[in-house]
Amino acid sequence: MKTAILGAGLTGITLARLLHEKGDEVTVLEREPGYGGLCRSMMESGFTFDIGGSHIIFSRDAQVLDFMRDVLGRNSKQNKRNTKIFYKGLLIKYPFENGLDQLPKDDLYFCISEFIKTLIAVEKLELSPPSNFCEWIHYTFGKGIADLYMIPYNEKIWKYPVEKMSMHWVDGRIPRPPVEDVIRSAIGIETEGYTHQSVFTYPLKGGIEAMVREIAEPIEESIKTGFTASSVRIEDRNIIISDGSTEIPAERLISTIPLQELLQCLDGVPKNVKRACRELKYNSIACIFLGIKGSVPDISWMYVPEKELGLFNRISFPSNYSPHVAPSGHSSILVEITYREGDKASAMQDRDIIDHVVDALSNMKIIKTKDDVVYSAVMRQKYAYVIYDLEYQKNIAIVKEYCAGIGISLVGRFAEFEYLNMDGCIRNAMNFAESL
């Protein structure tokens, strides 16, 4: 079977390998000069940064976790998560509800009393079940944790009002603490949350792209980079993919590229499908890479809910994941700013973004002096996070039904338009290959 795969991110590469193992003749078509998509890494001035934001390897799915760790073999390091929330100048243990005893006393009281009041109200059926993400946060954590952390943080990352977001996706993605753990944490007994991520793997050398490279090894020659699919014609049982100059024929087509990009390649898409696709929401990301002379705090990554501190929502410290991603005597910081077209961050020049971040990190005392910054760069990714708004389920169903009807299979984060982490992409690629 001649199979064409659109997009050579982690999903496209994994699918290509699995289908190749099944005997397919596979071609992977990729727009960029290199493959890996959001899982690419760049090396410059002795530093290695993950260009799609800081990536770590973890999963609840044992088979997928083994696959990811096995392909890396000896090029991997296990790290114990040491993640914090920067709150009123304090470093609170992550998840927030596991670090309650570190809060100022008034805030601790607010969180725990509202948590208990909410539990009682739910028990007495005085609180209606939630119907959107904002209500889910209140219903699950109470007003204290909601107002002090969950709502400000989620508004910062999604760039979308939480009351206009759906809640169907939260299970398994947002840590949901047992009541006992919240009480323990409030009185200072150590607890761990989100435990399947408390130990994570990271490549020793090459950044997260090292994993994609290992997966790609048996099919590397089948990847055609610099090929922007611009038209897909389906004629009887033949599929012709073109970039405007070269035509690639295939018997089967799997798309791992964003739905918005795929639909642009197709003729005759009905208006209602185009409209539904336009209504699917996502945000973009600017990743700011800083090389630092000397050391950084011994933290894996840090969430920053407070708007006043800066535009960024997360700060990671990749040189704490592997000693090989920064030159000797140096360390590294990766700062993430999500944005949507037309907002403040989307309009900022790279130089202004770097200045904004460096100023903020020195105010937060994460870097000692600005002179310690020996390297800086910014990379942007248009498609970073799927936003699950209240219309999402209706719109995605219309687009998926149309693609299925014309025989295009969709696998991957922006092809399925789902909040899939690397493990989810690999799982869906495995399931797809098995289903054939």
Ligand X SMILES: Cc1cc2nc3c(=O)[nH]c(=O)nc-3n(C[C@H](O)[C@H](O)[C@H](O)COP(=O)(O)OP(=O)(O)OC[C@H]3O[C@@H](n4cnc5c(N)ncnc54)[C@H](O)[C@@H]3O)c2cc1C
Amino acid at 268: G
Instruction: Find the angle CA(160)-CA(309)-CA(363) to the nearest 5 degrees.
Output: 160
Residue 125 beta carbon to ligand X: minimum distance, rounded to whole angstroms? 38
126-160 as b/e: b if 16+ CB within 10 A: ebeeeebbbbbbbbbbbbbbbbbbbbbbbbbbbbb
Give 136 or 227: the residue with its C-beta nearer to ligand X.
227
Q: Indicate which single residue of 97, 336, 372, 389 sits in contact with ligand X (rule: CB under 6 A).
A: 336
If binding is defined by CB under 6 A, does position 261 make contact with ligand X? yes
Q: Indicate which single residue of 71, 215, 420, 433 sits in contact with ligand X (rule: CB under 6 A).
A: 420
If binding is defined by CB under 6 A, does position 95 make contact with ligand X? no
- Burial (CB < 10 A; 0-12, 13-18, 19+), residue 6, is buried
| Short-list 102, 85, 145, CA closest to 302 | 85
Nearest-angstrom CA–CA distance, 212 and 207 = 10
If binding is defined by CB under 6 A, does position 301 make contact with ligand X? no
Residue 120 beta carbon to ligand X: minimum distance, rounded to whole angstroms? 37
The 117-156 site mask, x for binding ligand X (CB under 6 A), equals ----------------------------------------
Residue 370 beta carbon to ligand X: minimum distance, rounded to whole angstroms? 25
Please give the helix or strand (H or E) that residue 242 lies within, else none: strand 238-242
| 103 within 8 A of 90, measured Cβ to Cβ | yes
If binding is defined by CB under 6 A, does position 425 make contact with ligand X? yes
If binding is defined by CB under 6 A, does position 260 make contact with ligand X? no
Amino acid at 298: D
If binding is defined by CB under 6 A, does position 99 make contact with ligand X? no
The phi, psi pair for 140, rounded to 5°, reads -85, -40
Instruction: Report the Cα–Cα distance between both ends of the chain, in Å, rounded.
Output: 11
Residue 250 beta carbon to ligand X: minimum distance, rounded to whole angstroms? 14
Please give the structure tokens belonging to residue 44.
């410059």
Residue 386 beta carbon to ligand X: minimum distance, rounded to whole angstroms? 10
Rounded to whole angstroms, what are the CA distances from 177 to 94, 123, 140?
12, 17, 9
Q: Indicate which single residue of 198, 228, 231, 362 sits in contact with ligand X (rule: CB under 6 A).
A: 228
If binding is defined by CB under 6 A, does position 39 make contact with ligand X? yes
If binding is defined by CB under 6 A, does position 203 make contact with ligand X? no
If binding is defined by CB under 6 A, does position 372 make contact with ligand X? no
Please give the structure tokens belonging to residue 100.
């309650």
Nearest-angstrom CA–CA distance, 391 and 70 = 40
Span interacting with ligand X, options 76-84, 168-176, 370-378, 420-428, rule CB under 6 A: 420-428
By CB under 6 A, name the binding residues for ligand X: 6-12, 29-32, 37-39, 52-53, 55-56, 228-229, 256-257, 261, 285, 336, 383-385, 412-414, 420-423, 425
